[in-house]
């Protein structure tokens, strides 16, 4: 794998899952693979899980790791070409990315959307320029539109916990929030689940109130409904997540009651397991009774971030 920014960078999803679960069994089996190789992790936004799991994954593979909190410790970056830099920006992404590429064999990048200009965010302007100028393989730590390491960890979690007959019914369920959040996690989850559905691994449904429809490019083949209870009927997995509107870009629209998942809503499901990428706002986005109860997979899922990152770095190191 030369870079990891979407599910489309993965040639064989089943092999990637197998690698992740093999590494989970034996985390230190490939300590020589990353010897004398350096991973640089560049954050323009906060992180707990992505930062720690990716560092640990690299250490397990014998790599050196450097972390750059660009938003707090780096120079203010200019991303536009042809501007006279007489304002607040100090360094152009052309030089900054190229210099980081001199020090690292693989770079990881986190850069959230601004949620102001849809075209700019969905063009992945910052990510594309960083990849172009750094000159080394890049792993996404979450971009404006996708969070593939999270989605891979989610798929690993479903694969290893599913003990039922046939394919599980997986539901992505919109949940309330007070802030405008990016569509990156639900886009990415939908994209990975649609691919898993194509490969015969899951049946996939999305439930959201009117106005919160995701960009259709990320949802090919998904069943889509505005009725949460209909979607939850017979569900085996419920992936809870808030996102802001794609159509009325970046807006929190008026949202209806009854979209926060609680134990009562689980009654029509197949004793569904509940997932969330975290961080989660308790009793706003997801009820405490679910988070603290037997149906919650959120900690297990966060644990699998490590094996997702390790499997991806393994395949990238093999291509260096």
Which spans of this chain sit near ligand CP (rule: CB under 6 A)?
Answer: 47-50, 142, 150, 277-279
| Residue whose CB is less far from ligand CP, 253 or 280 | 280
In the complex, minimum distance from the CB of residue 309 to ligand CP, in angstroms, rounded to a whole number: 11
Which candidate, 21, 10, 291, 305, places its Cα nearest to that of 162?
21
Contacts of 299 (CB under 8 A, 6+ apart): none
CA distance 160 to 199: 16
In the complex, minimum distance from the CB of residue 313 to ligand CP, in angstroms, rounded to a whole number: 16
CA distance 67 to 123: 26
| Residue whose CB is less far from ligand CP, 220 or 279 | 279
| Residue whose CB is less far from ligand CP, 159 or 276 | 276
| Residue whose CB is less far from ligand CP, 234 or 279 | 279
Contact 275, 239 (CB under 8 A): yes
| Residue whose CB is less far from ligand CP, 55 or 60 | 55
| Residue whose CB is less far from ligand CP, 150 or 197 | 150
| Residue whose CB is less far from ligand CP, 112 or 130 | 112
| Residue whose CB is less far from ligand CP, 48 or 76 | 48
In the complex, minimum distance from the CB of residue 147 to ligand CP, in angstroms, rounded to a whole number: 6
In the complex, minimum distance from the CB of residue 14 to ligand CP, in angstroms, rounded to a whole number: 24
Please classify residue 72 by burial: count the beta carbons closer than 10 Å to its beta carbon, then call 0-12 exposed, 13-18 middle and 19+ buried: exposed
In the complex, minimum distance from the CB of residue 290 to ligand CP, in angstroms, rounded to a whole number: 18
Contacts of 245 (CB under 8 A, 6+ apart): 211, 212, 251, 252, 253
In the complex, minimum distance from the CB of residue 227 to ligand CP, in angstroms, rounded to a whole number: 28
Rounded to a whole number, what is the largest CA-CA distance in the chain?
A: 63
In the complex, minimum distance from the CB of residue 139 to ligand CP, in angstroms, rounded to a whole number: 13
In the complex, minimum distance from the CB of residue 239 to ligand CP, in angstroms, rounded to a whole number: 12
């Amino acid at each position: 794998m030369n870079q990891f920014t979407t599910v489309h960078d993965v040639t064989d999803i089943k092999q990637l899952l197998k690698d992740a679960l093999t590494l989970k069994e034996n985390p230190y089996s490939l300590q020589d693979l990353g010897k004398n190789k350096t991973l640089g992790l560049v954050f323009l936004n906060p992180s707990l899980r992505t930062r720690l799991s990716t560092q640990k994954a690299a250490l397990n593979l014998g790599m050196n790791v450097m972390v750059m909190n660009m938003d707090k410790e780096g120079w203010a970056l200019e991303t536009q070409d042809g501007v006279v830099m007489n304002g607040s920006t100090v360094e152009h992404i052309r030089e900054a990315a190229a210099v980081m590429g001199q020090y690292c064999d693989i770079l990881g990048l986190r850069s959230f959307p601004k949620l102001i200009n849809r075209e700019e965010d969905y063009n992945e302007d910052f990510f594309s320029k960083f990849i172009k100028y750094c000159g080394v393989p890049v792993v996404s730590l979450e971009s404006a539109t996708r969070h593939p390491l999270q989605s891979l960890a989610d798929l690993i979690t479903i694969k290893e916990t599913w003990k039922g007959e046939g394919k599980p019914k997986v539901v992505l369920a919109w949940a309330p929030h007070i802030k405008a959040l990016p569509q990156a996690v639900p886009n990415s989850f939908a994209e990975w689940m649609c691919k898993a559905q194509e490969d015969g691994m899951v049946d996939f449904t999305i439930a959201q109130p009117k106005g919160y429809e995701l960009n259709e490019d990320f949802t090919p083949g998904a069943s889509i409904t505005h009725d949460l209870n209909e979607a939850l009927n017979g569900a085996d997995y419920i992936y809870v997540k808030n996102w802001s509107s794609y159509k009325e870009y970046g807006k929190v629209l008026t949202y209806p009651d009854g979209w926060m998942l609680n134990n009562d809503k689980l009654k029509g499901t197949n004793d569904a397991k509940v997932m969330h990428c975290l961080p989660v706002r308790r009793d706003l986005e997801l009820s405490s009774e679910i988070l603290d109860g037997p149906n919650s997979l959120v900690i297990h899922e966060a644990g699998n971030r490590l094996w997702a990152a390790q499997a991806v770095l393994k395949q990238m190191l093999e291509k260096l």
